[in-house]
Every structure is written in structure tokens, then in C-alpha cells.
Structure 1
Amino acid sequence: MFTTLAHPKPTSAEARAALLEDPGFGRVFTDHMVTVKWTPEAGWHEAQVRAREPFQLDPAAAVLHYAQEIFEGLKAYRTGNAGVALFRPEENARRFARSAERMAMPVVPEALFLEAVEALVRIDKDWIPDGEGSLYLRPFMFANEPFLGVRPAGEYIFCVIACPVGAYFKGGAKPVTVWATDQYSRAAPGGTGAAKCGGNYAASLLAQAEATRNGCDQVVFLDAAQHRWVEELGGMNVFFVFDDGSIQTPPLSGTILAGVTRESIIALARAQGRKVTEAPYDFDTWKADAASGRLRETFACGTAAVIAAIGEIRFPGGSFKIADGQDGPATLALRQELTAIQRGNAPDPYGWRRAVEGV
């Protein structure tokens, strides 16, 4: 289905090697991108693999005024057998479809989503770093119809770009400090909290700036109605590990993003014999359980960082630490098992790895 257009000036092997020495996260991009257009008359059409370049948008493009935009994030890994694999991309495709439906946008068929992602991985395979690095893939869709009127747009572009990334944390994973905001909310019932749309992240930036001012790495949001129940971080789900080995995470009630990493951790923890509960957890209980020692670990999870221990929570008027503020055994075990499956260093009984053919 995809037409490949020759890149007029691809990055040389020497220049690429220099960039891959320290790509950071989201700063270096590969040579190509995938684009597919949609209109009511033609449906999905004009599927191309082509040189990465800026879009030309009309100033009245709907995305610039009414924020019809969604995105995903997933990774391609070099595996032990010299191949390349994606981690549960079907789940990203399904979440992308749910986000599209919530934002009144056309649904990208799962097969088209997967074909687009794999086409980009194949043509830019040399950009996948070795070692702890990976290729971060960003599928996204936006409304490009030029009009000024509040209604769903009639034209869309689906695109996939990629960037090589190193380890999320310099010097290895380390516990993070989070700021619990009592002023800002990420999402409310009936809103777009369960959709992966740019507006949710834009709304979190002021709270993230507040967290930074208070010396924290991330912000954790409470529910919008009571500012009582712990929901999620700005871009990560959160888990709590108790002294009896059980694990709890907030339920997916429509205000929390259904993370692919979150779902994977629940499956792995249960396979380890741990009791996992999806139930509300309020902020005051979080403080009390940390003080009493009942709560032994707290960690956040997402595609970028995989699993990050939370060592300290700060809030207006105080702070508290989780145990000794270090990685706990459950956090370490789950991170090691998950990353081993992702990279092909361990058996995959769940069928989560998807090999990219032709790489």
C-alpha cells in the first residue's frame, strides 16, 4: 500500500554514528516519515514513506484552532537474535483508535497503523541504537482542513516519525521526586483523560512548571472533583507496593490513560504471584501508609522510562518519603523482567514482542 519516495540527501553513516553516541530523548530524528491522508470521499489514501520534512499548513488548519490531534508512543528494540522487535504495537493501535473516536476523528485501521510503523522501522533501521538505546516511534494524526468553525474536520493526516533514544535516566534508573499539586487538574469525568491527545499534555505543563520550581522531576495529579484521589503523573501511571507484597493502582475510570506499560506490569505482577488491585487510593492514605511503613514502594511507568521508582513526594506544606527513598525489590524485579522481554533477552509467554520482518 505504501509508496516509497527516495530521500534526496540521507544522513551519512558517519554523521549518523556521531548522533547516536548521545541522542538524548526526542532531540535527534531519523531521515524518513510515513504519511497517509484522509478525506470523506477517498478514505485513507496517498500512503507514502518519504523524507522527513516540515508540513505546509494553511493558517486556518483546524488543528491550530480546535486542537483535533492525537498521538501514540512506542519503541523498536534490537533483540538478541540480531533482529528488531516492537513491544505490543497492537495495543497502541487500539488505543489510537479509541483516542480518535473520542476526538471525533476517523479511525486508523489497526492493520494500517502497524504497516505504517513497520515501514518506518524498516527504512530507518540503521538509526536503532545498540545497548540500552531504542528507536522511539511517534504515530500521530491531526486535522488539516482549513476552516474556522466548531465541527469535526473533513481532512486529516496520519503520520509516523521516529527518534533514536538512549537510556531515559543518565547513569541508570533512579528514584524520582514528584510534586502533588492541589491547584491544577489533569482531567475530569466526561473529559478527554482517557484519550492520548495533545491538549491533556498542554494542560499539565503549568503544573509541571510548578513541580520544577519545587525541585521535583514530575507532577502527580489528584482527581478534579475532590482533589483527594491519586490519579496519574503528567505522562505516567502510578503503582503502590505494600508490605504484604500486594500492589495497587488507580482504576481506569475515564480520567486516566490506559497505559500499555501499566497493563503489562499488572500481568507480570500477577504471574509473580502478587495480588494486584485496581482501586482508588487517596492522598492522605498515601502519606499515612508511607509513615507507618505499610507502603514499601511506589513507582511510575510509561513507554519512555519503563518503570521509575518514586522516592519522595512533595506537596504544599510538606513532603514524605517512601521507605528509604530507593528502588525496592518489586520495582527492580518488574523492571528487569519487562525490559528483558522487550529486548528479546527472556522468553515471551504473552506474545508481546512483534518481530519486524525484513530488517
Structure 2
Amino acid sequence: MALHIEKIAKSRISEVDFNNLQFGHEFTDHMFECDFEDGEWQNPVIKPYQPILFDPSAKVFHYGQAVFEGMKAYKDDDDKIWLFRPEQNQERINISAERLDMPSFPKDLFFEGLTTLLKIDSEWIQKGEGNSLYIRPFIIATEHGISASASNRYKFMIICSPVQAYYAGEVRVVIADKYSRSANGGVGYAKAAGNYAGSFYPARLAREKGFQQVVWTDSCTHEYLEEAGVMNVFFRINNTLLTAPTSDRILDGITRKSIIQFLESEGIDIEVRPIKVTEIVEAARKGELLEMFGAGTAAVVSPILGFSHQGENFELPKVENSYASFIKKSITAIQQNKAEDKFGWRYEVK
């Protein structure tokens, strides 16, 4: 099927202050859109970024059939545009869609829409340290009617937002012992919109106590550590990094799997295994817990300075030449085409 392109009459780029961007609040001139009707995806179009009209009974509003991805595009000093492991995002949005009984989106159309959109809005991808274009593909249910069943109509879209280096400030976390992000047999491994909605309330309770985020634990016993906020989480005990294995409760993060592969290539000890809360608390008491950090698309790596568990607070030591800073510097250099990509992660938009 042919991709139709409608270009904006006048770009809004001159209205944007690229030196003072609030994450995810400014959007590029165009967006990609495609509809699923009569059992197939059809009418792919790139058109000016604009509001979209839905029936109030659209099933996305009532039954939460919505999945999404997060990606970034970078521009190097030669004005070449690079993506980071985009095939992983394409595969994962369809894994998420399947779990919510939504149709998969074709790989060739995903890449045609994405790369064409990036080339049309290439001026929005700013060069320079920390600058990138955040990309949000998503699928939502659009059939009207409030019968409790899967939709038979959907909309796939890609919107893009220029961003600067993500800095979360000083982060301290609470280890969850009541609320859960996901459960066995649930949708935790999918990037389903409802996963994030359910996490906001516990996160607010944590902020009210002076913490910035929640480290989630397993829903059955709250004995095992899983994720940090909306990121995968790593722990450094002495010179070994630990992270939990993926499961139907834990998102298979692309940054997470990249960090694991990178560390293995560097000969740094990393263990992917279940991690007990008591193990981390005991390591902190002994002074052996040297680092904690989250890993995800927005920040790549976000250091955690301290944590609380059942009212007991722990501060982590300040470590010179931290693993977190080494990983972030190394991964971002690959993403921005400033270092050799021996893994084949970069994807050039031509």
C-alpha cells in the first residue's frame, strides 16, 4: 500500500526554544498514522501534527487497549540520522499488542513510516551532546461501542518530540512492600498504557515522603526486586552488577539488554538472577552496595543515591569511576555515532 504524505504549510520549528525543552512537551511538524479496519491495516499517511477526533465510546477509553514504544533518533556531526536497535522496538510493540489482543503492525510499514517521518522532520533532530528526538509509536483501540470485548478497529501512530539530555536530579527510592506494578500472568512484560497508570499513585505516595520513585517488588511476597519506576534496575555489590531476569512481570528493556551485552564484552561481572530485598539491604548495611541505577530509553542510566525499606533509610557511597557513568558514556557514544559499534546496534536512516 502506498504511503500518502501531506506536508505542513509552514514549519513551527522557529517557535521552539531548543535550549529550554521540557521533556515530551514539544512535537515535530508531522505525524504518521495508519488505521486497522476490515481486518487489515490501511491508509498510511504522514500529515501535519494535529488533534485527532474520537467517538466518546472508543474502546481505548473504556477498556484500555493501548500499547506504545519509546525510541530515540540522533544526528551526528555529518548530519546523518541514527536509530538505536529499532528492530527491537518494532518486535516489542507487537509482543505488547498480542497480549492485549490487538493486531500486529507490519514490519515493513513500521520502518517505512518511521524513516520517512524522520527524514521529513530531520531539522527537528538537533546535533550536539545530549540532544535527540524522542519517538513514540503507539496503537490504540478506536471501535465505538462499550461492549466489553476487543476492538475491531485500531489506529497506529508515531509522534516525535525533541529532547535534551535527561537529568532526573537526585533520586532516592522506596522499595515497595504493599503496591505492585504487575503480577504473574498479567501484562507487566508489555508496554501497556495501564501499567503506567497503575504506578502513578504509589509513586505519588513515595514523593510525599520525600522520595522520587518506587522500586517494585514481586506481587506475591514482596521479597524480590523487579523494576525501578518505569525503568529496569541494576545493583552493584562490590564489583558485581545484578539485575533481575525478565518474566511476565518485568519489561524486556532494550537499554537493559544492551547494558548486559556491553558489560559482558567489557569483562565486567554481571549476574542476571532473582534478587532478594534482604540481600540488598544486608549489602547496604555492610557497605558493599556501591551503586543502584535505573536503565531506560529516556535517561539511558539514572543513578539512585539512596533507598528506604520499611522505614529504614540507606545512603549509597559516592563512587569514583562509577559503573553507571561508564555505561552511560559508552552507550550514548554508540548511539550518537561517536564510538565503534561492534554490536551492530546503530541503524542509519537513509
On whether the aligned pair clears a TM of 0.5, the verdict is yes
Question: Aligned residue for 1:26?
Answer: 24
CA distance in 1 between partners of 2:236 and 2:77 (Å): 32
Structure 2 residue aligned with 1:63? 60
Which residue is equivalent to 1:312?
306
Establish whether residue 222 from structure 1 lines up as the match of residue 223 from structure 2: no
Residues 209-255 of structure 1 show CA distances to partners (whole Å, capped at 9, x for unaligned) of 01211222221111100011111022100011221x22210011210
What does 1:72-91 correspond to in 2, within 5 Å? 72-91=69-88
Secondary structure, aligned partner of 2:96: helix
Scaled by the length of structure 1, the TM-score of the pair is 0.93
Q: For 1:250-274, what per-residue CA distance to the aligned partner results, in whole angstroms no more than 9, with x for missing partners?
A: 0112100010000000000001102
- CA offsets, 1:295-315, max 9 Å, x none? 221111000011011110023
- SS of structure 2 residue aligned to 1:163: strand
- In the alignment, which of 258, 261, 269 is matched to residue 267 of structure 1? 261
Contact between 1:248 and 1:278, CA under 8 Å: does it hold in 2?
Answer: yes
Cα distance between partner residues in 2 of 1:117 and 1:212:
36
Paired with 1:44 and 1:159, the residues of 2 have a C-alpha distance of 12
Q: Could you tell me which residue of structure 1 aligns to residue 102 of structure 2? A: 105
Which amino acid in 1 is paired with 2:139?
M
Task: Supply the AA of the counterpart residue of 2:6.
Answer: L
Shift of 1:329: 2.0
Partner of 1:120: 117
Please list the CA deviations of residues 41-75 of structure 1 after superposition, one character each: whole Å capped at 9, or x if unmatched: 4x111000001111110011010100000000000
| Paired residues, number | 348
Alignment of 1:334-345 (within 5 A): 334-345=327-338
**1:163 corresponding residue in structure 2:** 161
Structure 2 residue corresponding to 1:40, chosen from 38, 41, 52: 38
Residue aligned with 2:44, SS: strand
Matched to 2:174, the amino acid is: W
The SS at the match of 2:83 is strand
2:177 corresponds to: 182
Q: CA deviation at 1:328?
A: 5.2
Which whole-Å CA distance do the structure 1 matches of 2:89 and 2:347 have between them? Answer: 13
Q: Is the 8 A contact 1:75 1:86 kept in 2?
A: yes
Structure 1 unaligned residues grouped into runs of 5+: none
**Cα distance in 2, alignment partners of residues 32 and 91 from structure 1:** 24
Shift of 1:39: 1.7
2:15 aligns with: 15
Counterpart AA for 2:11? P
Q: CA deviation at 1:80?
A: 3.3
Conserved 8 A contact 1:80-1:343:
no
Query: Is the 8 Å Cα contact of residues 7 and 30 (structure 2) preserved in structure 1?
Result: no
Q: Deviations over 1:274-333 (max 9, x none)?
A: 232211111121111112122221111000011011110023412112233x57521111
Q: What does 1:193-212 correspond to in 2, within 5 Å?
A: 193-212=188-207
Instruction: Give the match for residue 329 of structure 1.
Output: 322
Contact 2:84 2:347 in 1 (8 A): yes
Cα distance in 1 for residues equivalent to 2:117 and 2:64: 26
Alpha-carbon distance between aligned partners in 1 of 2:331 and 2:20, rounded to the nearest angstrom:
24
Counterpart of 1:213? Answer: 208
Give distance in 2, aligned partners of 1:202 and 1:147.
23
Calculate the TM-score normalised by the size of structure 2.
Answer: 0.96
Distance 1:206 1:145, change over 3 A: same
- After TM superposition, give the deviation of residue 82 of structure 1 in Å: 2.2
CA contact (8 A) 2:207 2:213 kept: yes
Give the letter for the 2:112 counterpart.
Answer: E
Amino acid at match of 2:61: L
Counterpart amino acid of residue 7 in structure 2: A
- SS of residue in 2 equivalent to 1:22: coil
Q: CA deviation at 1:175?
A: 4.9
Call closer, same or farther: CA 1:111–1:274 in 2, change over 3 Å: same
